[in-house]
Structure 1
Amino acid sequence: MEKSKHSLSLVVLAGGLGSRFGGNKQIAEVAGLGCTIMELSIADAHSAGVTQVVLVINQNVRAEVENTILPRLPQGLEVLLVEQHIDSVPQRFVDLASNRVKPWGTGHALLCAKEHIKNPAIVITADDYYGASSFKILSDHFKSEQSWAMVGYPIEATLSTQGGVNRGICQVDSGYLQGVEEYLNITQSDTGLTGVNPLGEQKQIALEALSSMSFWGITPTFLERLEHGFVEFLEMDDSDVKREYYLPDQIQWSIINNKQKVRVYTAQESWYGVTYKSELQDVAGKLYELRHG
C-alpha cells in the first residue's frame, strides 16, 4: 500500500437524507455561529492534528458545500469531497441498486472513501457535535497504538426531550469493546431508561451505559472488511432494498471473527446532536455558549 503523506485523517459521513429531521440537516447552520456542526468538528479535528478531511456527501448538496462550507474551513487541510451514490455497488448488484431509494447506510458511506484512506482515521457523522477533547483522545491513541478505538458517551446525556432516540449501547470489558447493541425508541421515565432491544423486547438500560455516537478510530484494514462485508450484505439482502449496511455491525463482525481490538474511551465532554428539527435552536444555544462562553 502506498505511503500516505498524512498521519491522521477525518472522514465525515454526511450523505444521509435525514428523514426524521426533514431536509439536509448536515448543512443547516448553527444560529449565532455562522457555520454548520460539521465545521465545528473539522476545526476541532484540525486542532488535534488531522491534516486530511474526506467529506462523504450526497450530490444534492455538493454545490452548497463547495461554495459555502469549503471556503470557511481551516487553512492547511487537504479536503476531498466524495459522493455517496446508490449505484456505487459491484457490477452484479446494479439491478438491486435500481430499486433503492435511500442511501445504503453508514458502512457504505465510509466504503465510498476507501481509496483516500491510507492511514489511521477518525470517522464521525456530520450532524453530531462531539467536543474537542474527543478528537484529542483518538489523536493521542493513534500516536501509541494501531488498534481501533471509539469514544463512547454516557447514554443519559444523549437523550432527547422531543421523542425517543435510537442508540448503540456498548458492551465493554477491560477497556475494550465487546459489541454494540442497537436499542430503538429509548426514553426516560420515573422507572429509568427503557428501549427496544434487537429482539424487539422492551428492556431497562443502565444509566451509566456508554452509547456509541458514531465516533470511531479505524485503520485502513477496516475498509477491506467493509468491502467484503458489503458484498455479503447485498447477497443476503437481495430481496430487501430498504435495509441499511451499518458501520458498527462490521466493527462487531471484526471483533468476533478477527479478534479485532477496539479500545473504548469515555467522552470528557457532552455530545450534542439534532435528531428532530425542533432541537436545532436548543442545540444552537448550547453550542454558542460552548464556543463563546
Structure 2
Amino acid sequence: MKRKPTLLVLAAGMGSRYGGNKQIDGFGPNGETILEYSIYDAIRAGFGKVVLIVREEILDLAKDLFLPKLEGKIEVEFVLQSLNSFVPKEFQNPERVKPFGTAHAVLCAKDAIAEPFAVINADDFYGKEAFEVLGKFLMDGVQPNLHAMVGYAIENVLSEHGTVSRGVCTMNEANQLIGMIERTSIAREGEKIISRGEGEELEIKEGTPVSMNFWGFHQAVFSDIMDMWQEFLPANKNNLKSEFFIPTVANNLIQGGKAAFEILEGGKTWFGVTYTEDKPIVIEALKKMHDSGEYPNKLWF
C-alpha cells in the first residue's frame, strides 16, 4: 500500500507588507482562510497529514482556528519555528530578529515527517490541479534523488498593487530545473514584465516558469538540508539578516549532482495576498469558485 504524502505548511511568516497575520485572515464566503483551500485540495489529492510550521505567538490561535474544522478529516500536527530552532548555542544571537527563512522552516519539521511531502506557503492559493499533479508525483515518482516543484507562468503570478519577489527558473529539455534566481522586484510595465530588484533592468518573457514555493520532496532531503544548515550557520554567524532558503537547497543539490527536480505543469491557477489591496481580488475569485461548484458552499461540515 502506498504511503500517503504529507503537506508541510509554512505559516510562521510575519506578513510585513500585508500588514497583519494574513495566514489566519478570512477570505472565503464563510470566513475561510486561503490555507483551508490548500488543505481541502490536498485531502482531495490523497494527502494523509498536514504539518503546520507556526510561531509560538500564534500557536494557540492557529489550533483554535484549524483543529475543529479538520478533526476526523486529516491528521494535523503543529511545529514551532523559533530563532533558536536547530541553532546550537554558539550560533545563537539575541540581537537577531529576522527569521532564518524557508529552508530553516522545513528543517524544523524534520522530526514530524517520515514520508514524501509537499511544501507550501500558507497565504498562497495554488489550485486543485497543482495538488493533484504533485500528490501523484509524491506517491508514484519521487525518489531520494528526485524531487519536484510546481511551475507557474510569470504572467499569472504578479500583483496589480506593487512589485513581487519570485524564483525565476531555468529548465532543460526534460522539464527539469537547472537553476533558480530569486528576483526581488518584479512588476508589469506596459507590455513587458520587468525585474529591477538587483540593480539592473531585466525583462522576463511571458511563459517563464517561476517557483511559488510549492515543492515536493522525498524525506531523504532532510539529511541534505541539515548538512547545508551546518555549513550556513558558521558562514553567516555575524550576518543578522542572513536567510536560508529552499531555492538555495535546490540549487546546491542540482549543482552538486546529488538530486534532480522535475518542474510539474500543474500551476494553472494562483493568487495570493502580498498587499492589503489584493484582498478584495482574492475574495471575489474565491466567491466565483464557490458559485461555479468548484468548492462546496461550505468547505467543512
Q: TM-score range by the shorter chain?
A: over 0.9
What is the aligned partner in structure 2 of residue 27 from structure 1? 24
- Sort the Cα spacing of 1:157 and 1:74 in 2 relative to 1 into closer, same or farther, 3 A: farther
> What is the one-letter code of the residue matched to 2:223?
E
How far residue 94 of structure 1 moved from its aligned partner, in angstroms, is: 4.4
Map 1:134-283 → 2, pairs under 5 A? 134-146=130-142, 147-173=146-172, 174-196=174-196, 200-283=199-282
Map 1:89-104 → 2, pairs under 5 A? 89-96=86-93, 98-104=94-100
CA distance in 1, matches of 2:59, 2:264: 34
What is the aligned partner in structure 2 of residue 114 from structure 1? 110
Cα deviation digits, residues 258-286 of structure 1 (max 9, x gap): 34111111235210111011211211110
Contact 1:17 1:102 in 2 (8 A): no
CA distance in 2, matches of 1:280, 1:93: 42
1:14 aligns with 2:11: yes
CA distance in 1, matches of 2:137, 2:175: 13
Which consecutive segments of 4 or more residues in structure 1 shift more than 6 A? none
**Which region of structure 1 is more displaced relative to structure 2, 246-255 or 222-231?**
222-231
CA distance in 2, matches of 1:168, 1:151: 12
Q: 2:128 aligns with which of 126, 132, 136?
A: 132
CA distance in 1, matches of 2:245, 2:138: 24
CA distance in 1, matches of 2:265, 2:90: 40
1:73 aligns with 2:70: yes
CA distance in 2, matches of 1:191, 1:289: 28
Query: Matched residue of 1:267: which SS?
Result: coil
CA distance in 2, matches of 1:14, 1:116: 16
CA distance in 2, matches of 1:17, 1:99: 18
Contact 1:11 1:122 in 2 (8 A): yes
Superposition CA RMSD, Å = 1.7
CA distance in 2, matches of 1:111, 1:94: 16
Q: How many residues align?
A: 288
Aligned residues: percent identity? 35
- TM-score scaled by length of structure 2: 0.91
Query: Matched residue of 1:169: which SS?
Result: strand
How far residue 74 of structure 1 moved from its aligned partner, in angstroms, is: 6.0
> What is the one-letter code of the residue matched to 1:203?
L
CA distance in 1, matches of 2:210, 2:248: 15
CA distance in 1, matches of 2:197, 2:189: 17
Give the gaps of 5 or more residues in structure 1: none
How far residue 27 of structure 1 moved from its aligned partner, in angstroms, is: 0.5
- Sort the Cα spacing of 1:94 and 1:236 in 2 relative to 1 into closer, same or farther, 3 A: closer
CA distance in 2, matches of 1:92, 1:185: 35
CA distance in 2, matches of 1:77, 1:6: 14
Q: 1:46 aligns with which of 40, 43, 46?
A: 43
**Which region of structure 1 is more displaced relative to structure 2, 70-79 or 163-172?**
70-79
Contact 1:43 1:74 in 2 (8 A): no
- TM-score scaled by length of structure 1: 0.93
CA distance in 1, matches of 2:71, 2:63: 14
How far residue 63 of structure 1 moved from its aligned partner, in angstroms, is: 1.3
**Which region of structure 1 is more displaced relative to structure 2, 108-117 or 254-263?**
254-263
CA distance in 2, matches of 1:220, 1:93: 28
Query: Matched residue of 1:194: which SS?
Result: strand
Cα deviation digits, residues 160-210 of structure 1 (max 9, x gap): 110111111111112101111111211112351110365x32211111101
- Sort the Cα spacing of 1:29 and 1:188 in 2 relative to 1 into closer, same or farther, 3 A: same
> What is the one-letter code of the residue matched to 2:283?
A
Contact 1:182 1:197 in 2 (8 A): no
How far residue 37 of structure 1 moved from its aligned partner, in angstroms, is: 0.6
